[in-house]
Amino acid sequence: MTEKVLMKGNEAIAEAAIMAGCRHFFGYPITPQTEVAAYMSKRMPKIGGTYLQAESEVAAINMVYGASAAGVRAMTSSSSPGISLKSEGLSYLAGSDLPAVLVNIQRGGPGLGGIRPSQADYFQATRSSGHGDFHLIVFAPNTVQEMFDLTIEAFEVADRYRMTAMILGDGMLGQVMEPVDISRSANITLPGKDWALTGTKGSRKKNIVNSLYLEAEELEMLNFKRFEKYAEVEKIARTENYLTDDADVIIVAYGICARVAKNAINEARKNGIKVGLVRPVTLWPFPKKQLESAAEKARAFIVVEMSMGQMIQDVELAIRCSRPVSLCNRTGGMVPTPEAVLAAIENADQAGRS
Amino acid sequence: MQTVFERPKALSDVSMHYCPGCTHGIIHRLVAEVLDELNITDKTIGVAPVGCAVLAYNYFECDMAQAAHGRAPAVGTGIKRANPDNIVFTYQGDGDLAAIGTAETVHAAARGENITVIFVNNAIYGMTGGQMAPTTMPGQVTQTSPYGRDVKTAGYPVKVCEMLSTLDGTAYAERVSVDSVKNVKNTKKAIKKAFEYQLAGKGFSIVEVLSTCSTNWGMEPVESLTWLRENMIPYYPLGVYKDKEDSK
């Protein structure tokens, strides 16, 4: 039996984390993700968990580092400027191979920017979430249901691969209310964490959680090994495809932009334009193969995103620039309209025919 | 033959990397002796800083984490909240604790986080080669205060125990020194008390240990101890700054 409740996106993330067995949340208020913290502050004390409002984003991610090192499922959430502050901790989590979940409900930037929805942290999430050689697993939900489901999955893959998994949403998804089926069961059986800091209890040698390697050869070897793991993680790359089987024009969009694009696609189809959507559900690993196979049939690509054009680079790389790729974008907190996307579809369709 | 002196079990049987004349080795040993005496090594988790003591994880026989520069109290907070039955200590220098990690230190204390902080104050950045620290003395020459620390431009040293003792969450704050046998003994007593306070769940405890840096002070080891005694102790008076046992 399904149990549907009406929830905000941010609340769905928090509830999913709790269902995934997360009992340690460390955060700092910032719009438009504050409901995650508020929800946690209400629920955690009642279920024997920890809600701790840190003195800064920097402290919050390092509390996650400590809790994760101690072997529990831990999480923090923030919005764009706060994620920048967390980048130091993300690098240390990666360097120490610790699992953690991080939520970024993006707002417009750069700087303090604004509080309206944005996707301008794509590069930060997929390219440069901190110093050094490493990656995060990045999930991009586009419904409140997915914010719930992917948060549970984030905890599972974080533990499986000993990596940080990020939920990359935007201010609109965080605030929108939709019915959510919360009956999905989560796998809260933790994998063996024989590396965790729990005290030796006199029964094993000491464990050390560390990212310092003064011997360059040793560090290089560890980085090679970590990237061998990342090659395995590439297999979880996935998309949702919508009307792509016969499509001449492919829209690539994630998050809220994908929903706008679907409206535009439905309109364009009424006018006889064969257009479909490839929606990356994972942004890292990026679903290259799915885009390659879309490029075998389509004449043209359009990337719809709320940035000055960030994911478009991954799309061009994935299809090796074999098809024209145009950008339909807004920035600074503006959401593209279905009309603007429809116009972009008509342009791409015309250009493809001439 | 009777053994009259041996390595504490909580101290690893490895050579330390510290410079000749450095007192980190003494302080490490005192922490290890306390872990032995309280019989808590197997449930203790230490957090190493960035700085000279970054390799402390190699020297203690308990579980250890290495934290980003200044973040040890936040990492310690996460560990303690995850496993409240563990004993958690951080081991930090003055650059780590009183500059880049001031916020983490102050707020861990303000929260009354039930962890123990061993704070080694040698008035200089050691590992990076002797730059001015928040605790560098007025007039003290360092690599980045080549004309002596001028308080008009560089401000005044941070007196950590005095500052933290104003916070309600601080259960115990004491400043000690390792410049003499008597003071080394007092330091051990203070460290033991700090761990005992954590065991009793009393809240945040900190022991500030005045220490030497012969290499970067440019002095012989014995001369360093004299300099510490004559210059640092008058500015950073030894003693108990906060003891919740004494107050109601």
Q: What is the pLDDT of residues B17-47, one digit of tens each?
A: 999 999 999 999 999 999 999 999 999 999 9
**Count of helices and strands (H, E) across chain A:** 12, 15
Which of B42, B80, B87 has the CB atom closest to A201's CB atom? B42
pLDDT in tens, B116-156: 999 999 999 999 999 999 999 999 999 999 999 999 999 99
Distance separating alpha carbons of residues B153 and B150, to the nearest angstrom: 6
| CB A57, CB A86: distance < 8 Å | yes
Asked if B64's CB is within 8 angstroms of A209's CB, the reply is yes
Q: Please give the pLDDT value at position A220.
A: 98
How far does A327 lie from chain B, in Å, by closest CA?
Answer: 40
Checking if the pLDDT of A3 tops 80, the result is no
pLDDT at A94 over 80: yes
- Residue B45 and residue B62: Cα distance in Å, rounded? 6
Give contacts of B79 with chain A, Cβ < 8 Å: 66-67, 69-70, 197
For A206, which of B62, B103, B106 is closest by C-beta distance? B62
In tens, the pLDDT along A41-70 reads 999 999 999 999 999 999 999 999 999 999
Mean pLDDT (whole number) for A235-240: 98
Residue of B nearest to A203 (CA): B42
Give A1's pLDDT tier (boundaries 50, 70, 90): low
Residue B65 CA to residue B77 CA, distance in Å, equals 12
A138-174 per-position pLDDT tens digit: 999 999 999 999 999 999 999 999 999 999 999 999 9
CB contact residues (below 8 A), chain B span 95-124, against chain A = 103-104, 106-107, 111
Is beta strand A177-181 parallel, antiparallel or unpaired with respect to A4-8? antiparallel
Sheet holding A100-106, edge to edge: A50-53, A24-27, A74-78, A100-106, A164-170, A137-139, A282-284
User: Quick check: B77 and A201 CB within 8 A?
Assistant: no
Largest Cα separation within chain B, whole Å, is: 61
Min distance B60 CA to chain A CA atoms (Å): 9
pLDDT band for position A135 (cuts 50, 70, 90): very high
CB-CB neighbors (< 8 A) of A92 in chain B: 67-68
* pLDDT tens digit sequence for B184-237: 999 999 999 999 999 999 999 999 999 999 999 999 999 999 999 999 999 999
| pLDDT per residue as tens digits for the range B89-103 | 999 999 999 999 999
Q: N- to C-terminal Cα distance for chain B?
A: 50
Distance (Å) from the alpha carbon of A49 to chain B's nearest alpha carbon:
9
- Looking at residue B248, its pLDDT comes to 46
Residue that the structure tokens 């410049």 belong to: B179
User: What is the model's pLDDT at position B218?
Assistant: 96
